Amino acid sequence: MSQDRITQLHKFLEEDPNDPFTIYALAMEYRATDKDKALSYYTQLLSEHERYVGTYYHAAKLYEELEQNDEAERIYKKGMLISRQEGNLHAFSELQQAYNKLMGLDYEDD
């Protein structure tokens, strides 16, 4: 995490508090060093910018890291629904793979 980058992102957020990309960028910056702060930004995105598809994968992965698998499952499912509605099949595929792994449905053919 670069403190200069964090500072700049906070300035951007002050200028436009509703910009989902800035909120997403802050969540990603804080993810490695302050999971609670990252989670608060992901939560904000999920509630205020439901159609911002990129949030779902990273938010659910963070919930997995925090061993909150029920919440991760819920977010993956919602993300798959939104990504399909948005026509973002790449995001849908990534979410589905992560969901399958969480649920123990990933398997390899021998």
Q: What's the CATH code of the domain at 37?
A: 1.25.40.10
The answer to whether residue 28 sits within a structural domain is: yes
The answer to whether residue 108 sits within a structural domain is: no
The answer to whether residue 110 sits within a structural domain is: no
Is the whole-model pTM more than 0.85? yes
Taking residues 7-25, report their average pLDDT. Answer: 97
- Domain of 83 in residue numbering reads as 3-102
The answer to whether residue 109 sits within a structural domain is: no
What average pLDDT is seen over the chain? 94
The answer to whether residue 82 sits within a structural domain is: yes
Q: How many domains does the chain have?
A: 1
8 A C-beta contact, residue 41 and residue 72: no
The answer to whether residue 97 sits within a structural domain is: yes
Spatial CA neighbour of 86 closest among 50, 46, 48: 50
pLDDT digits 0-9 by tens, 49-93 = 999 999 999 999 999 999 999 999 999 999 999 999 999 999 999
